Amino acid sequence: MSASKPLRLFIDIGSWLITVAITLVGLAALTFFIGRVLPIDPVLSIVGEKATPEVYQKVYLELGLDKPIWQQFIEYLGKLLRGDFGTSFSTSRPVLTDLLNFFPATLELSTIGLIIGVVLGVPMGVASAYWHEKWPDHLLRVVGLVGYSVPVFWLGLVGLFVFYYLLGWVSGPGQLDVFFVGVVDRITGSILIDSAIAGEWEIFFNAISHMILPALLLGYYSLAYISRMTRSVMLDQLSREYVLTARLKGASEFRAVAGHALRNAAIPLVTVIALSYGGLLEGSVLIETIFSWPGIGNYIYSSLFAADMNAVLGGTLLVGMVFILLNMLSDVLYRALDPRSREFAK
C-alpha cells in the first residue's frame, strides 16, 4: 500500500532473483560436495589406482586440493560461472560442449512427451472432475495409479518387445535408422526440425517412428500427474457459484465447463505443467538408456560406466538448473496470470 507500484515490482523481482541465485548456489554446493568431498580421494577417482606419483601430484594441484575447502568452493563457483564444467575424461571434450550437443535431443523428446501429456491429461482430468465418482473418474484413478506404480524403464522394455518386436508398428532403439544417421545437417539439434528444414521427409517420418514410443511413455508418465492435478483443480472450480450462475443464465454445459470453469482452472494448471516438464527431463534419463536416445540421460549413463565424474556432475548440474529455472518460472507465470495475486501481491 505504501510503496509506489514500480518500486514494489522492483523489490519483488529483486527478491525473486535472490531466491533463484541462492537455490542455484545450493545446487552447485551439492555437486561440489558430491564431487570433491564425498570420494575418499578425489584424485584417485580421476586418475585411477595405477597412476604414477607425478600424475597424482599434478592432478592434486590442478584440483586445488591443497587450498582450504571454502576457497576451493569459491573457485568452483567461478569456473561454473565462466561455463567451465571441467573436461570429460571419456570424450576428452569440455563437459559443457558435450552437454550442449546432447541437450537438444532430450529437449525434443521431453517436449513431445509433454505435449502428449497435456493433450491427453487435461481433458481426462476435466472429464473425471465432471463425472466425479462415476466411471470416467474411476478409470482415471486406475490410469493414474498405474502410472505412479510402474517402473518406467521396464514399461519401455515391454513396449519395445510388444510394439517393435511382436507387432512391428514402431522402429527400434535409436533416433534414426542406421543408414539415415548423419544425412541431415545439424542445425538446431532437433532431428524433426532439422529434417523438415532440409526437406527430407522420409527421414522426418523415420524419426517420428523412432520417437513415438519413448515419447508416449514419457507422456504417460506426465499424464498421471497432470490429469490428477487437473481433476482436483476442476473439482474445486466446478463447485463455485459462478459456474452455477453461468448455468442459470442458460449457458450450455460445454460452455459452463470449458468456457468458465476450465478458464479459471488454467492458471494453476500452468504451474502444474511447468513442474511436470521438469519431471520429464528427469524421467528421460531412464527412458533414454532403454531407447539408446542420444540425449543427456544417455550421456550421464555412459559416463557413469567410464567413471567420468565431471560428466556425471555436469549433467546433474545442467538438468538441476533447468529444473530450478522451470520451478521459478512457473512461480512467475502464476503471478503474472492470476489477476488476484497481481493486485494483492504483498
Residues that bind another protein (CB under 8 A): 22-23, 26-27, 29-31, 34-35, 38-39, 45, 145-146, 148-151, 153-155, 157-158, 160-161, 165, 278-279, 281-282, 285-286, 289-290, 300-301, 304-305, 309, 312-313, 315-316, 319-320, 323-324, 327
| Nearest partner of 257 among 273, 271, 227, 237, judged by Cα | 237
**Apex 157 CA angle, 154 and 162, nearest 5:** 125
CA separation for the pair 83, 169 (Å, rounded)? 43
| Cα Rg of the chain (Å, integer) | 24
Q: How far is CA 143 from CA 22, 100, 270, in A?
A: 38, 35, 22
Q: Min. distance of Cβ 258 from another protein in angstroms? A: 26
Q: Min. distance of Cβ 173 from another protein in angstroms? A: 11
Nearer to another protein, 196 or 323 (CB): 323
CA separation for the pair 220, 227 (Å, rounded)? 10
Place of cell 517412428: 209
β-pair partners for 87: 94
Q: Min. distance of Cβ 46 from another protein in angstroms? A: 12
SS3 category, 294: coil
Q: Min. distance of Cβ 283 from another protein in angstroms? A: 8
Nearer to another protein, 130 or 323 (CB): 323
User: What is the DSSP annotation of 152-210?
Assistant: HHHHHHHHIIIIIIIS--S--SSSS-GGGTTTSPPSSS-HHHHHHHHT-HHHHHHHHHH
SS3 category, 84: coil
Q: Min. distance of Cβ 304 from another protein in angstroms? A: 6
| Nearest partner of 304 among 315, 295, 294, judged by Cα | 315
Nearer to another protein, 187 or 306 (CB): 306
Q: Min. distance of Cβ 90 from another protein in angstroms? A: 13
Q: Min. distance of Cβ 12 from another protein in angstroms? A: 18
Nearer to another protein, 104 or 159 (CB): 159
Nearer to another protein, 233 or 246 (CB): 233
Nearer to another protein, 5 or 346 (CB): 346
Region class of 182: left (phi > 0), else alpha (psi between -120 and 50), else beta: left
53: CB partners within 8 A, 6+ apart: none
Nearer to another protein, 161 or 205 (CB): 161
Nearer to another protein, 261 or 290 (CB): 290
Q: Min. distance of Cβ 326 from another protein in angstroms? A: 10
